[in-house]
Structure 1
Amino acid sequence: MLKKISVAHSPDADDIFMYYAIKFGWVTPKDAVFENIADDIESLNQATLKGEYDICAISFALYPFVKDEYALLKTAVSFGEGYGPKLIRKKETKLKRNFKVALSGEFTTNALLFRIAYPEAKITYMNFLDIEKAVIDGTVDAGVLIHESILTYSSELEVEREIWDIWLELSGGDLPLPLGGMCLRRSLPLHSAIDYENTLIKAVDVANKNRKVLAPMLLEKGLIRVDAKLLDNYLDLYANDNSVKMSEIQYKALDKLYELGYKHGFYENLIKAEDYLIPSEYEELRNK
């Protein structure tokens, strides 16, 4: 009997797109059955802190808090390059220094960067789907939009500041903005962990190469919250060639994120991303 492995991802378009090559049976692990769970990103961050899932999508900013229990995966990653979450407010309004803002979760990457840039803001956390309405209703003065909402927000709102611009100022420029990735429980056998990661790498690659086939299937099944045109735009941003396997510049960007978090007192230790990957070279040595 095959082992069941829980794989949790967010319900936003890029995560669904990158995972569903497995769901549709185009790619499968060798010795296990993946059981997928979809939940909002902060719920996944909190679940990872509790060790609930074998493999889980997380905000990159969470990873230093779970590094001892979870290995960082090289695939299914989302980085912004000239774009990313947006701090929005109602038109014709001005924000005070201690403005009230809605963020999508304490451990999200956008929350880390926002808190560094706006230390006096009064933060409230809520599901990312509720943030736009909270700003329009005046429950909060501003909010940081993530996922598809960066493309679909109301004409009543306008951008106060791009999180990308905050990242550029803090990082010194020339690095992509790390947003989200995946991690895997360290207690899993190493040879299985390597297979599961390779399965996910293949799934993201297959999805990316077969986008014209997969995207309409997801839309037809009602799995995506946006229409075909917006889905295409969104996948251009967050599920592309750069999502398949992390590059050297992406590792540098992660290291800069963790350096900033450490420098501003959010992390107890300074870590390097590549020190926490699954040692895939083990499989090569094992097969010699």
Structure 2
Amino acid sequence: MTHATPSLDLGYSFCPNDTFIFYALAHGRVPAPMPVREVLEDVQTLNDWAREGRLPITKISYRAYFEVMDQYVALRAGGALGRGVGPLIVAREQLGDLNGKLVASPGSLTTAEMLLRVRHPDVRVVRMRYDEVMPAVARGEVDAGLIIHESRFTFHEYGLVRLVDLGAWWEGETGLPLPLGAILVRRDLPRATQWALNEAVRASLEYAYAHPQEPKGYIRQHALEMSDDVMQAHIDLYVNDFSLDVGAEGERAVRELYRRAVQAGVARASDRPLFVERP
């Protein structure tokens, strides 16, 4: 009798940066400690699922990671950090003071909303899926919108103007890149497996860099009516050296974001390691 090799459910988003990074791993192009099965969802859903501990390995916003650190630890590879990558606040016209205004947010556990609340503590927030934010602003249902992902390239198409670049604000405040998303594995997995998954994610990205044409059909399949130019701009912006390894500067940025989350009362202090360690 033969037994099927156990697999791990791997959660990531439909966004081009994620499908680019995980194409090779999801399609068996690179070695992994065990097969993985792709589970594609929007980031807010993945954030919510992480609270339940549903997936053994998953994409998550750094803001949400700080709430599930008892169950998960971040990989060093596969994440989204960088400069010029931050969320934007957009509106139909320049508004001046945002305090008291109604702002559409892509989710309570997004890094974007955390930055919004630190920068503008008195805004009123209504939450919706990230791709619904700009249409809601354009229809006048909200005063402004907090946009992430490819929306930073397309908000002009909705007749909207940029009010605040929260990434530029963060960089000016800290001098550090902005941590947006991480790849988490469950802490109850053996350390050797955690590290092997880290290396598999890194190898998956290296494969995509070495064979840039091969993942394009897979990326296009999930790109939500995005043009090819926007799809590539999204990858170029959000996939970088920090995606191969968070590095010392990336670690400092994550620790600073965590410190501010604790200071703002939206995360509990913990002495658990933030990243997987080589066994």
TM-score, normalisation: structure 1:
0.89
The answer for the alignment partner of 1:217 in structure 2 is: 217
- Structure 2 residue 215 is matched with structure 1 residue 189: no
The answer for the alignment partner of 2:92 in structure 1 is: 90
Change in CA separation of 1:207 and 1:63 when aligned onto 2, cut-off 3 Å: same
Q: Which letter does structure 2 place at the counterpart of 1:67?
A: M
The answer for the alignment partner of 1:278 in structure 2 is: 276
Moved over 6 A (4+): none
Take 1:279 and 1:247, find their aligned partners in 2: how far apart are those partners?
Answer: 13
The answer for the alignment partner of 2:258 in structure 1 is: 258
The answer for the alignment partner of 1:70 in structure 2 is: 72
- Structure 2 residue 117 is matched with structure 1 residue 115: yes
Change in CA separation of 1:178 and 1:142 when aligned onto 2, cut-off 3 Å: same
The answer for the alignment partner of 1:17 in structure 2 is: 20
Contact 1:83/1:162 (8 A) holds in 2: no
The answer for the alignment partner of 1:232 in structure 2 is: 232
**How far does residue 12 in structure 1 lie from its aligned partner after superposition?**
0.8
**How far does residue 270 in structure 1 lie from its aligned partner after superposition?**
5.7
- Unmatched 5+ residue regions in structure 2? none
What aligned pairs does 1:132-147 form with structure 2 within 5 A after superposition? 132-147=134-149
Take 1:192 and 1:82, find their aligned partners in 2: how far apart are those partners?
Answer: 34
1:56-103: per-residue Cα shift (whole Å, max 9, x none)? 100011122111111111111111312321100002555552000011
Q: Give percent identity, aligned residues only.
A: 25
TM-score, normalisation: structure 2:
0.92
Q: 3-state SS of the aligned residue for 1:196?
A: helix
1:218-253: per-residue Cα shift (whole Å, max 9, x none)? 35x523232222222111111133311111100011
Take 2:264 and 2:43, find their aligned partners in 1: how far apart are those partners?
Answer: 23
Q: Which letter does structure 2 place at the counterpart of 1:277?
A: F
Take 1:94 and 1:64, find their aligned partners in 2: how far apart are those partners?
Answer: 32
Contact 2:95/2:163 (8 A) holds in 1: no
1:143-190: per-residue Cα shift (whole Å, max 9, x none)? 11111111112241000000113313442x2x1011001100112223
Take 2:229 and 2:130, find their aligned partners in 1: how far apart are those partners?
Answer: 22
Take 1:97 and 1:191, find their aligned partners in 2: how far apart are those partners?
Answer: 48
Q: 3-state SS of the aligned residue for 1:191?
A: helix
Q: 3-state SS of the aligned residue for 2:35?
A: strand
Change in CA separation of 1:48 and 1:27 when aligned onto 2, cut-off 3 Å: same
**How far does residue 214 in structure 1 lie from its aligned partner after superposition?**
3.0
The answer for the alignment partner of 2:169 in structure 1 is: 166
Take 1:14 and 1:243, find their aligned partners in 2: how far apart are those partners?
Answer: 10
